[in-house]
Structures are given as C-alpha cells and as structure tokens.
Amino acid sequence: MSGPLIVLVGPMGVGKSTVGELLAEQLGTTYRDTDADVVAMAGKPISEIFFDEGEEHFRALERQAVQDAIAEHAGVLALGGGAVLDEATRTLLAGHQVVYLSMEVDEAVRRVGLNTARPLLAVNPRRQWRELMDARRHLYEEVARAVVATDDRTAEEVARAILDVTELPERTGEPAPSGRETTRMTEQGTTRIQIAGTAGTDPYEVLVGRRLLGELPNLIGDRAKRVAVLHPEALAETGEAVRQDLADQGYEAIAIQLPNAEEAKTVEVAAYCWKALGQTGFTRTDVIVGVGGGATTDVAGFVAASWLRGVRWIAVPTTVLAMVDAAVGGKTGINTAEGKNLVGAFHPPAGVLCDLAALDSLPVHDYVSGMAEIIKAGFIADPVILDLVEADPEGARTPAGPHTAELIERSIRVKAEVVSSDLKESGPREILNYGHTLAHAIEKNERYKWRHGAAVSVGMVFAAELGRLAGRLDDATADRHRAVLESVGLPLTYRGDQWPKLLENMKIDKKSRGDLLRFIVLDGIGKPTVLEGPDPAVLLAAFGEVSA
C-alpha cells in the first residue's frame, strides 16, 4: 500500500513533531505535519481558527489535510491530536503503519503548561486532559499497530523504540532530504538561570522554556499546606486553571483576583489580599504564586514580603516585561499618589517560571512594550541583544521571531548577574534603572495609563541625549538608541509642555539623594555610570530632544 512510511498519532504535547522529524532523519525520508497543513490552508494559527470559526470548521480543515497527506506523502506523517475523532480518517488509516505515542496526565501537564495556543486545554489542563483522553484513548488504540510510551523518555529514546517495534531500517550514508529544518527535544529545551543568594536570601532559579507548569509543585514543596494564586482579571481562566491544578495535587489552593495592570498596585488591593490570606489561615510555610504581568508579580511579591513578615512566593510571569524585569531580582512594591514603587520591599522569589507559551497570545502592543527592557539590557551590558534586534526588527516584535528565547534569556542573565551581587540597590544594581528616571515621571504624569515599556523607551532616548550633552556618550551610540527603539515600534517622544511636572516627579525618584537628581547614563555600550546633579539647562536641552 502506498502512503506514509509511518503515521504518528497521539494527544497534543506528546512530542509527535519532535519525534517525527528525528525519525525522518534516521529513515532518510521527509516529515509532514497535518496541523502545519491546516495552518497553511487557513492562514492563521489553530487557536485563532477555534476562536473565529469554531471547532467544527477546524475539524473539516483537518479532515481534508489528512486525506491529502495520506494520498501524497511517503515519509513520516504526524496527525493532530483530535484527527482520530473523524470516522473517515480512521478508515483511511487502516492498513498503514500507525504508531500511538502515549503519555500520562502528569507528564502532559508538565509539557503543555500554560500554552493558550492549545485551545482545548485553556482552562483546567489536568481535568480537561483526562476528559480528552477518556474520549480519544480507545480511538488511538483502534487505529494503531503499536503503542510507544513517551513518559520519562528523550525524543531519541522514543524514536529508537518506534524503529524497534516497526522494524524499519535506518538510513546509512548521506544525510536525508528534509522538508523542514530538524528540531530536537523541544519539550525538554528548558534553560535554568541561577540567581545567587545575597543579604541573607536563598538562591533560586529562573526557568525559561515551554510547558513549565509541571515545575510548580516542585517549587512549592511539601511543607506548604496552602497556596494563594494571585492573578489579574484578564487572566481569570488561567489563574483558576493553576489553582485547580494545585488543588488536584492536594494543596488548599485559593485564587485571588487583582485589577489589571497598574491599577493593582495600591495599598487597597494589598489589604484585600492580606484579608484573604488571614481568612484562609495562611501561615509562614504556605506559598503565594503570582501569575501575570509585571504589576501582578510586583503585588504578589509585596504581599508575600509583608504577610507574617515574609512568606515564600513564586513568580509565573506571562508578559515579556515581567519575564525579563519585574519577576526577577526580588524588587516588590506598590504605587502611591506621590510616585511609582515608593512602597515596597526586597523579597526574592523561591523560583521564576518563564513559560514562553504564555507569550503566544500576548497582544502585540504589550509584547513590544516588553522589548524596551530587553533593549535596555543590550545597551547597559550585552550588545549581542542589539545585534539580534537590528538583524530582524520585525521578528523581534513577535513571540514567533527566531530569536525570542535568546533575547529573553540574555536579558534575564544581565539582570541575574547584577542582582546576584547587589540585591538591595546599594551599588551596581542602579544600572538597571537606565531610562527609568524619566520613565517613572511620565507614568505618574499619565496616571499609569502609559505602558511601562513605552515610557522606558522615551526615558532611554532622554538618557542617551543627556549622556551626549554631558560629554559622556558618542553620537553614534546615542543615535543608535533611536534607531533600535523605533525599529520595533517603540515611542521616542513625549509632550514637551509637561517638563515642569516631570521635573518635580523626578525629584522623588528612588535614586535621588536629598535634592540631588541622579541619572544612569552611558560612557559607551556596556558602560553605564551615574551622572549626579546635572545642570538644569542640560536637563532641559536633553528633554528638548524627546519633546513632541
């Protein structure tokens, strides 16, 4: 019978793509994925097909994609998780070499995690996984000639097991032709970045990767009886999913919903959280989990620092800004009428889970806003970041870009190195505030309606001009600020008539000492320094360069 050499079936996240590409290489053939065919047919991601046209329309596209692939493809073929639900598809598979890749629920949740691009697991991954498998397991087994378990196995080990049960010969000699670039071990490609403990705090890890939700219980540990999941209103379903998953594992888990964005960073919201903790009997061995953007992790950390003079907390950042800045380093805080982050504490988390899958559904403006902090890290410490952005500005604007993981990891490493040596901003940590003095003044002036990254972008251009006017920074590097920031769509200017208000706001910046204004400026790329008490005329001239 003509058709695919091997057909892989199994649930979402089991690793069909990773194993399929590896098998194709070992067998000297090509690889095809019907999910990718559906995306190409529709011109949009599967999650958007579900949202815009519904599951029925998606299944019709999938049915056609499977029919075409079985008729046309002679290599390794992977089907979508729900393809076997269609009776016509099951009939087509009869007589073909079908292998069912299986995994248990704990492994599934670890791999799939917070991936909102998986539309059928968007609310409670553990419960919904069981329901999906109850409906599909017998269908996978019906069409398969062999079953290969993937739990606790690498992609190479799974591929070897498939070759053993199918008795297909491996290629020898020249490399195989390939329909796409081979990618290995995507499920296990997690980067761990160490943050050293200082000033009596414990060290912790920042994990960057995908499908990281399964790491959460390990970070919470066995001593905790209760877990409070703090999340913004916009992530109500995600917060409830995390809470339910923890409850299913035996914790007394509660969800505390916060207002969105900077509206959460008030003493009233903190008091609301304290009340919830008190009513549920939260003790020093219990744990707070902050799931959301930078404002959410700021509040979660502050509530953890202040409750019982300090309980453990874990950050699960869901935005670029939170991953590269707010969730790392232990700075926690809330705003007051007088300024941003003026009330807070240094209270490092017990761990940070940066699940890149959470970025897949992030609105473009929020994603681009976070790029300001990444670009900042490039200017103050890691020029490779700037090179990557300049090489592909459009790619830097989207989580689908080729350098997303590297940009985020490099930015976190910059901050990790700084905060590991200076937790409480008594010295080197001040460099992380590059561009932030004016940025915080703008945010306060806009009543925190401006995105933080947008304000930081303007603040960095201002700092570059200040450094140039002070004779510290060369023209080319100052101009490079404008070029890089503008290339990803970040703003470069602010209202010129607001200078008197901004100046007053900057006088109560955390870096100020008495009446002395202090700014982080550059002597060159990767050479940040402090500029104290600049001449008011120089300040005004620098602001003139960013005035709209």
Catalytic annotation, residues:
309, 331, 373, 415, 425, 429, 433, 436, 440, 452
First vs last C-alpha separation in the chain: 70
Strand-pairing partners, residue 107, are: none
Radius of gyration for the alpha carbons in the chain, expressed in angstroms and rounded: 26
Nearest CA among 277, 281, 339 for reference residue 305: 277
* Phi, psi dihedral angles at 353 (to 5 degrees): -110, 105
Structure token pair of residue 234: 């916009």
Nearest CA among 18, 7, 28, 21 for reference residue 169: 28
Query: Which residue do the tokens 């403990």 mark?
Result: 197
A 10 A CB-CB count for 108 gives 26
**What is d(CA 476, CA 456) in angstroms, rounded to the nearest whole number?**
20
Q: Where are the alpha helices (DSSP H) in 227-293?
A: 236-248, 267-279
**Residues 406, 367 contacting (CB under 8 angstroms):** no
Counts of helices then strands in the chain (DSSP H, E): 22, 16
**Residues 405, 415 contacting (CB under 8 angstroms):** no
**What is d(CA 548, CA 540) in angstroms, rounded to the nearest whole number?**
14
Nearest CA among 451, 429, 456, 448 for reference residue 372: 456
Nearest CA among 9, 237, 221 for reference residue 133: 9
DSSP per position, 110-156 = HHHTT-TTSGGGSS-HHHHHHHHHHHHHHHHHHH-SEEEE-TT--HH
One-letter amino acid of 268: E
One-letter amino acid of 496: G
Q: Are strands 528-532 and 518-522 parallel, antiparallel or unpaired?
A: antiparallel
DSSP per position, 472-527 = -S-HHHHHHHHHHHHHTT----B-GGGHHHHHHHHTT-TT-BTTB-EEEEESSTT-
What is the four-CA torsion angle of 388, 393, 398, 401, rounded to 10 degrees?
Answer: -50
**What is d(CA 460, CA 425) in angstroms, rounded to the nearest whole number?**
20
Structure token pair of residue 262: 């900077």
A 10 A CB-CB count for 170 gives 12
**What is d(CA 115, CA 340) in angstroms, rounded to the nearest whole number?**
32
**What is d(CA 94, CA 509) in angstroms, rounded to the nearest whole number?**
70
Structure token pair of residue 332: 């926690």
